[in-house]
Amino acid sequence: MQRLRAAVIGGGIGGLAAAIALRENGLSAVVFEKAQELREIGAGVVVRANGMRALASIGARSAVGEVALPVRCRPPQMWHGDSLSPDADPHGNGTLESPVVYPAHRGELQRVLKEQLPSEAVRLGHTLERVAEDEDGVEVFFANGEHERFDLVIGADGIHSVVQGCIGEPVLPEGQGIMAYRGLVPAERLVGKAETARLCQWLGQDRYFITYPVCRGRLLNVVASVPNTLPEGSWSAPGDIADFAREYEDWHPEVRRVIDAMDHTFRWGIYDRPPLSRWTSGRVALIGDAAHAMLPYLGQGVNTAMEDAVTLGVLLAGADTGELAGRLRMYEDVSRDRIHRIQQSSRRMGRIYRDARLGADDRRERMAAELQGGSWLAGHDAERTARSALAQLVRAGRSLENSR
């Protein structure tokens, strides 16, 4: 049987993980990325237990472990310092007695994933313009004039996905009137002034403030959500430290000390998209933000993108071209309900985070109710779920044959 050839559009964390997963499962996969070089804006991302499990499934767990060290979470606090119980751990790790997460610098995570692929499997400077599918394959067309034919296309091109608009009515991102200040601080500047070893978060008054160590503890990543001041139509922009500090001027002194230690910050609009009616069409499938952009309140965007990669890899292993459309539909069927639940729960969690009227007790209760223990989030095993769906398909095929 000939190896199926896949084009993965987008070299973000989802696209790179998908290419690794497909190659691990016997397909050939090439990543097409519009940027001329793979370089993430300096900021962190938190990989959680379900993301680490997905990385283990594609053989990248130990390499990523070098840049995403385990970090414990301090129980969340109110803006003035009162502690919320660990039952309200918004990270939903399912192990609330030992909430451990794996923060990484995005650039480092991307680099490590890229290193798992042969260099010819990542082609930079390729901006996808359109996808044209016929009975025998899919043609991808790029802004540089190149075009190429593949057996299938994976759209991992993020919240503004061009691939999504090629397989259905384009669904536009929706803003929630919020943005995040983000940035990195050398941890040595904060010795004796702020906690730098654990993930810490403060909630209150339309805002949250989160810090966690990245780059082996050398840097502290800061992400802080505030009402949106970005100009209309702008997705990100440099930020001003003095403006940032004003947003948090009456917050706990530890928060203010972290902002004071920053040299630079940038502003990042926060958007999601309502659940799409479909993620696949024939030989084309969407993954990650292209399929299910979500608000960051459960910290699952990257983690679910990596789950998608694993699910696709397992379901496409050994498939022939005649089975492709069915296997892609299966990917969507296996994943969609869980991911839509996460998208909707992230929106509700965002409202709880930002509700100025909620005191510590009400907040704790509502967060715990939303999380329901958290194991449905971080306990998920994408590989096991996909394998059991595939086994069911095989069993159903056998019983159909036996009944003939």
Residues with a known catalytic role: 212
**Nearest distance, CB of residue 110 and ligand FAD, angstroms:** 8
Burial class (CB in 10 A: 0-12, 13-18, 19+), 193: middle
Residues 6 or more apart whose Cβ sits within 8 Å of residue 383: 53, 54, 57, 310, 311, 314
Burial class (CB in 10 A: 0-12, 13-18, 19+), 4: buried
Residues 6 or more apart whose Cβ sits within 8 Å of residue 83: 75, 76, 77, 360
**Nearest distance, CB of residue 253 and ligand FAD, angstroms:** 24
Is 127 or 375 the residue whose CB approaches ligand FAD more closely? 127
> Which string of DSSP letters, residue by residue, matches 340-394?
HHHHHHHHHHHHHHH-TT--HHHHHHHHHHHHTTSHHHHT--HHHHHHHHHHHHH
**Nearest distance, CB of residue 143 and ligand FAD, angstroms:** 8
Q: Parallel, antiparallel, or unpaired: how do β-strands 200-204 and 44-47 relate?
A: unpaired
CB 317 within 8 A of CB 4: no
Is 215 or 290 the residue whose CB approaches ligand FAD more closely? 290
Q: Of 270, 278, 282, 269, which Cα lies nearest the Cα of 327?
A: 282
Residues that bind ligand FAD (CB under 6 A): 9-15, 32-35, 45-46, 126-128, 156-158, 162, 180, 223, 268, 270, 288-290, 296, 299-303, 305
**Nearest distance, CB of residue 400 and ligand FAD, angstroms:** 36
Tokens of 252: 């706990």
**Nearest distance, CB of residue 389 and ligand FAD, angstroms:** 22
**Nearest distance, CB of residue 287 and ligand FAD, angstroms:** 6
Is 229 or 392 the residue whose CB approaches ligand FAD more closely? 229
Collapse the DSSP code of 204 into the 3-class scheme (helix H, G, I; strand E, B; otherwise coil) and give the result: strand
Is 108 or 157 the residue whose CB approaches ligand FAD more closely? 157
Is 99 or 158 the residue whose CB approaches ligand FAD more closely? 158
Q: How far is CA 315 from the centre of its chain?
A: 21
**Nearest distance, CB of residue 44 and ligand FAD, angstroms:** 7
Is 20 or 128 the residue whose CB approaches ligand FAD more closely? 128
Cα(167)–Cα(327) distance, integer angstroms: 17
Is 217 or 397 the residue whose CB approaches ligand FAD more closely? 217
Cβ neighbours of 50 (radius 10 Å):
25
Cα(281)–Cα(211) distance, integer angstroms: 40
H helix intervals, 155-240: 162-167
Residues 6 or more apart whose Cβ sits within 8 Å of residue 339: 291, 292, 304
